[in-house]
């Protein structure tokens, strides 16, 4: 199963650690702009990755919640039924500006470490039936 990881570059260290943990659990992780080569159309690649993904992890920090890209990615998955039950917000650093809709989800805390967060997400993603 492919998982779309939405994060700000300032959170890249945790994003990479979490990606490694998710891949250990058999998930494929698409890491946003890090996957786009120079000269490629960023929005086209993001759109294709979102279509191919079956879950989304949103890393939340003061920088990420100000990101227009992350906002658009969240809007896309919230409008797609295949992501129902498969949106996983993870708070990297405290911020009061978490989008209101994500506050209705069970927020995971990065303080638990990438291994524990990754295991929780992998288990939940695999247990939630996919909507086609």
At 73-83, the pLDDT tens digits run 999 999 999 99
The residue ranges of DSSP E strands in the chain, in sequence order, are 2-6, 28-30, 55-60, 87-91, 108-109
Q: What are phi and psi of 4, to 5 degrees?
A: -95, 125
Residue 13's CATH number: 3.40.50.10140
| Residue 132 placed within a domain | no
How many domains does one find in the chain? 1
What tens digit of pLDDT does each residue of 67-115 get? 998 999 999 999 999 999 899 999 999 988 898 889 899 999 999 999 9
Q: Which residues contact 78 (CB under 8 A, 6 or more apart)?
A: 87, 101
pTM for this one?
Answer: 0.90
Say which residues have a Cβ less than 8 Å from residue 109's Cβ, sequence separation at least 6: 90, 91, 117
């Amino acid at each position: 199963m492919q998982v779309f990881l939405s994060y700000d570059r300032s959170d890249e260290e945790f994003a990479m650690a979490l990606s490694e943990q998710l891949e250990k659990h058999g998930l494929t992780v698409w890491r946003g702009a890090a996957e786009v080569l120079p000269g490629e159309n960023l929005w086209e690649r993001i759109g294709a990755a979102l279509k191919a993904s079956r879950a989304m992890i949103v890393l939340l920090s003061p920088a990420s919640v100000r990101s227009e890209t992350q906002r658009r990615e969240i809007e896309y998955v919230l409008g797609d039924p295949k992501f129902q039950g498969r949106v996983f917000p993870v708070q990297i650093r405290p911020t009061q500006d978490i989008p209101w809709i994500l506050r209705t989800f069970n927020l995971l805390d990065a303080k638990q470490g990438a291994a524990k967060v990754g295991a929780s997400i992998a288990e939940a993603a695999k247990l939630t039936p996919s909507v086609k």
